[in-house]
C-alpha cells in the first residue's frame, strides 16, 4: 500500500512528521519514494523529483510560482 508521508525539510535532512512510503514532487506532482528523495527546499518545504525541477522551483521562489503549461 502506498501512503503519503508528511515531512519537515531541513537543510541537510528531513524529519518524518507522518510516516508513509512517498511524498509528492511540488513541480510535477509525481510520487517520490522516500528512499529516493534527494532534492528538497527547507525554505519552501517542498520536495522535488530531480535536480532540474529543484533548480527551477528554487529560482522561481517556490513551485507555486512556476508557470504551469
Residue 2 pLDDT level (bands cut at 50, 70, 90): confident
Q: Number of helices (H) and strands (E), helices first, in the chain?
A: 1, 6
Rg (CA), the chain: 11
In this prediction, residue 11 carries a pLDDT of: 95
- Given a contact cutoff of 8 angstroms between Cβ atoms, the answer to whether 44 and 60 are in contact is no
In this prediction, residue 19 carries a pLDDT of: 97
pLDDT at residue 67 tops 80: no
What confidence tens digit (pLDDT) does each residue in 11-63 have?
999 999 999 999 999 999 999 999 999 999 999 999 999 999 999 999 999 99
In this prediction, residue 3 carries a pLDDT of: 97
Amino acid at each position: 500500500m502506498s501512503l503519503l508521508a508528511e515531512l519537515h525539510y531541513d537543510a541537510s535532512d528531513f524529519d518524518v512528521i507522518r510516516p508513509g512510503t512517498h511524498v509528492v514532487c511540488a513541480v510535477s506532482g509525481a510520487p517520490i519514494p522516500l528512499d529516493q528523495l534527494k532534492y528538497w527546499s527547507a525554505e519552501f518545504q517542498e520536495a522535488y523529483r530531480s535536480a532540474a525541477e529543484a533548480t527551477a522551483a528554487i529560482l522561481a521562489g517556490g513551485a507555486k510560482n512556476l508557470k504551469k503549461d
